[in-house]
Amino acid sequence: MLKRDEKIDQSKNFTCVKDWRSYRSDMSVIDNARLLCREFDSLTFVWDDKRNATTYNDPVLIFVEFLSYNTSRVDMRIIKKVNSLSYIRFDDLMPNTEHAARFWTVTDGIVYRVMDTPVHKTLDKARVPDPVRAIQISGFNNSLNTKNNNSRSIETSLTWERSIDNNCNYKIIYYPKKMEIPKWFYLDVAKSYPVTLTSLTIDNVYTVSIRAYYRKTSPPITSKNIIFVFSTPSCLERFDPISCPPGTPYNLSVDETLDRGEGRYNVKMSWKSRNTGGVGVDYFTVKLDGAKQQVPGTVNNAYFKDVPLSEHYFASVQAFSRTDHSDETVVREPRRIKYIQGSVDHGSFYLWTAAAFAFCCMALTLGQYAYGRWAADDDRKASAVVAAGVGYDMAALQGLDDVDVVLRREDVIVSDVVLGHGNFGEVRKAVLKTDGGELPVAVKWLRDHPTGRESERFIHEILLMQTVGKHVNIVSMIGCCLDVNKRCMLVVEYCPLGDLQTYLRKINIKSWYVNDFNVDRVGLPITVNDKENTMLDTGNTSLATNGGSPPMVFNNCYLYHDEENVFLTIEDLIRFASQVANGMVFLEQNHIVHRDLAARNILLSDYHTIKICDFGLSRDIYEQNHYKKSNCGDPLPIKWMALESLKYRVYTTQSDVWSFGVLLWEIMMLGSIPYPTICLSKIYEVLRRGYRLPRPNLCCYRLYEIMLGCWQSNPANRPKFASIKDAIDGIMENQYS
């Protein structure tokens, strides 16, 4: 028996044929033979097999004769036998050559010539494929064969209209707006079409991108990326309401009053529920720092009496039903005192006021002398404790909401692979033993004899990472433990692709096709103070900012990562920026200021997922050309700092926005260092006089407008991170939809 696509010799295999006859419709088992798809080196034909609907007593064989109309190979003739699949592909063809297919069937030793296809031409190898059109989905079905019987995942069928090129191979990526791990695959339309998108989550918005590509070019030549966005139905639209989770509480507010006890508070928390009248909610779990309580589902407030509050405390509420729970609504509040319960003794009030005034006067007199003595003594004491072998005080980690933060030392196996090191400590690759197997992680610790300040900041980072929670674009804490030397180790997610700066610097630029990004010619001034033709003397070089158009770039580029065989587009770079903005929205919502947002502090996990790290004010890396020590010894990232931070050492979310603009510039410059010719001591004066980084060649003008917005001198005029993310996503949607 011949296998599919096996070439046969006519003289040997047709000797048993009794007769051959022309087309007979009543004897034909195939119909509508046609070209399915093509590449520069192949043609694929398909037909309708009528044997699916009709029963034949005699076995029927199908042969396809392939004829070449290429003048250089006139005698080319191939015959293939097809057994089961209703398609056949002829490979190893020359580009820009013409071919046709003739279909035969053999029944009871008689050959029937069924039909000939029109002449078709292979594609030009150097031609960029045309993009697909008319992407659509058709309905939703509940996903089958899920491991979890309670799973509420769904699936849908994806189709599109192929271009006139009729390409065979496509790359498809789909990902949700509520960030999860993107999924992608390569598709051959002859083998799998339409496409089923599986494991979709309910009540979500998905983005699908499709590119046609040539499978035998390196790097691959692809079409323009086409974007399609669709929404999945809610749980109530697809499943039994009893099995659906309750709605996430919203409008969470917190009011506290000072109790009679010193440092103790009475706190009222209120929220709104999406489940009217508490229907579908059995109870709410309400948390306030370390305290927790449950209230009935019909109640929308909770009271905590006589509780301590930290200067910035966390409050949360989560709805629970019999079968599921909502997302947790979390707010981080600054402590504020509204009034004191009970009467006030006015005599005591005046007495304490006078005493406080006297104390302040004495503090002002002795403050400067005492500060210098205290800072030096603090570091000496901390160093003496570590040198004595006491190690870190893990008691500082107790009292956290999640007691699982403390891991067993024997479950953390640290390797010799150093992922990073700096002036303060080291990060190594490790393995965490869990019930489900072994999990690759990263372990971070300080050097052997850290100063008191370093130890304090490291513990602060652990506590902050514990309380901030998990987010897809944040390096999440897994836990911490002590090693054999009683040294505290912070265990975090492992990001196998390393930091973004190093990753971008390994990319080579290769031009492929013209102006796919639709860069317009509208110029923008580089300065933001509207002073034209200003010459800024930096001491090392002169920077001309004449307000004219930045240099144009007429090539779109594929960015090729040699070592990992990864191909990136400009859209991929912009998607990196969108993910960073998404992570910063989360930190902003939790009232966390990063202070060192830069490409070196961004990690890349699987599927090019961005992870922001080092947001706990811990600076492990001390690079001579990036940082400058402050008066208190902390390294400062001068080239990424906002004007107000450079002048007053003030750090806010809006100063993080400035840093994000520099990070965005780094991304579009593939990891280049900003202000390469300006020494650190002159950065502030250059920026104060209006100079801004120029537009990168790979950057469109709309994206450069976002950078300039981030670099506004007045912090109040800079955009919020949520607005930045929306603007970046809008650029991707407009350019690729």
80 is in an annotated binding site: no
Q: CA–CA separation, 467 vs 463, rounded Å?
A: 6
Residue 685: partners with Cβ closer than 8 Å, 6 or more residues away: none
Beta strands in 189-310 (DSSP E): 195-200, 205-212, 226-231, 250-258, 264-272, 283-288, 291-296, 301-308
Dihedral sign computed on CA atoms, order 604, 610, 614, 616: negative
Q: How many CA atoms lie within 13 A of 182 on its CB side?
A: 20
What's the angle, vertex CA 192, arms to CA 54 and CA 5, rounded to 5? 70
Buried b (16+ CB within 10 A) or exposed e, 178-200: ebeebeeeebebbeebebebbeb
The residue type of 228 is: F
Cβ contact 16:100 at 8 Å: no
Q: CA–CA separation, 684 vs 647, rounded Å?
A: 8
Cβ contact 512:564 at 8 Å: no
Cβ contact 601:610 at 8 Å: no
Please choose, from the candidates 279, 270, 235, 268, the residue with its C-alpha nearest in 3D space to the C-alpha of residue 249. Answer: 270
Q: CA–CA separation, 156 vs 145, rounded Å?
A: 15
- DSSP letter string over 626-670? TEEE-TTS-EEEGGG--HHHHHH----HHHHHHHHHHHHHHHHTT
How many other C-beta atoms can be found within 10 angstroms of the C-beta atom of residue 211? 20
Q: How many CA atoms lie within 13 A of 241 on its CB side?
A: 5
Cβ contact 552:519 at 8 Å: yes
How many other C-beta atoms can be found within 10 angstroms of the C-beta atom of residue 277? 9
Cβ contact 431:415 at 8 Å: yes
Alpha helices in 439-527 (DSSP H): 452-468, 500-505
The residue type of 14 is: F
Q: CA–CA separation, 158 vs 640, rounded Å?
A: 44
What residues form DSSP beta bridges with 142? 154
| Strand 43-49 to 87-90 pairing | antiparallel
The residue type of 544 is: A
Cβ contact 604:495 at 8 Å: yes
Residue 644: partners with Cβ closer than 8 Å, 6 or more residues away: 650, 652, 655, 715
Q: CA–CA separation, 134 vs 737, rounded Å?
A: 11
Alpha helices in 232-345 (DSSP H): 235-238
Please choose, from the candidates 246, 161, 173, 241, the residue with its C-alpha nearest in 3D space to the C-alpha of residue 207. Answer: 173
Buried b (16+ CB within 10 A) or exposed e, 512-533: beeebbebeeeebbbbbeeeee
Binding residues, by number, are 444
Binding residues for ATP, by number, are 444
